[in-house]
Amino acid sequence: MSLPFEADDVAALQEAREEALLEAQQARMARRSRTLKQVRRERVLEAPCRLGDGLTLISGLQRACKLVPLDVQKKPAEYDELPLDEERDVSERLEFEGSCFSKTRYIHPRFLRRCGDGSSYSVTCRLPVCTMGNSAVGDTLPVHAICHKFCDRLPVYRQLKFFSDYGLVGVDEPMLARWMQAVADVLTPLYRMFRELIQASEQLQVYEAPTGDIRDKRPIGHMQAIRCAETGRVHYCWLEELSVVAPERGEVLSVPPVVRDLFVAAPGEGALSALFYTFIGECERCGVEFGEWLLATLQALPGYRGDLRALLPQADVGQPSA
């Protein structure tokens, strides 16, 4: 019995059938209502905006900023602008403004000035100071993550979902941990000074309680709170072992000095949590928004030569009471 088609004809018919099925599937997908996430995925495939640190900005504000030195602005005729080098003279930085991400493309060209003796030198502008150094992440992004975690009690996986839904792809849990640790390293001198300032008080109160892991409620350490009875300031410190010892001119409390649901997300984040809880409590005592204070402090600390006590949250005494 002979077949009506040759083997080559059968293969061609099967290929045509698969192509028809694929076209029909694509037509069905095109007729479906596309969600916002599907639109963002398509934009990634079409024209992604690449940033450093493996981050990709899908949707958000994009702006350009040209940095010109002040000397060049005053005497532009004495300087010649050199050709722009994309790898060296162009940088990108990611910020979080309001409810959306924004990418700023900084252009800092080099300008050449020729002196009368035949010599010449070039000048350029540096990028704005950032806690993350040369990273593409600005200060507002780690501040936003810290406020979500320690003020709003938002778990890390919810933050990652928030970032992806708002157009930022590539953020993972280790990256968030590096951001928070970098901010904590910058605030450490202020944190130590604040403890010394409280310990110098005449009336101290100490409270320690076992603190558990938020995932399985297992005790992994102790959170110590030292409170100044005169001013109400509280300093938190992470301890691996229980050691409630009243300092000189102090007393041991049986109840926490501040009603706060303390938790630690991982065994290695006790000291990090104690640092941020200290400044969150001080901002609440002074009536200051923690996120605004943290951002202003991070911008003021690099190169700061004054008294660190001036950077602590200050109560607005000039505002009349209700």
The pTM (predicted TM-score) of the whole model is: 0.71
Q: Which of 40-49, 229-238, 246-255 has the lowest mean pLDDT?
A: 40-49
Say which residue the tokens 């990634």 belong to.
44
| Number of separate helices (H) and strands (E) present in the chain | 9, 13
DSSP state string for 128-164:
PP-TTTTSSB-THHHHHHHIIIIIS---HHHHHHHHH
- Mean pLDDT of the 46-68 span: 67
Looking at residue 262, its pLDDT comes to 63
Find which of 4-8, 133-137, 178-182, 187-191 is predicted with most confidence, using mean pLDDT: 187-191
Portion of the chain with pLDDT greater than 90, in percent: 11
Helices (H), the chain: 7-31, 36-46, 70-74, 86-89, 140-146, 156-165, 173-199, 270-286, 290-300
d(CA 225, CA 248): 15
Structure tokens given for 322: 């209700």
d(CA 213, CA 219): 6
Looking at residue 264, its pLDDT comes to 65
- Mean pLDDT of the 238-261 span: 61
Q: Are 205 and 253 in contact (CB under 8 A)?
A: yes
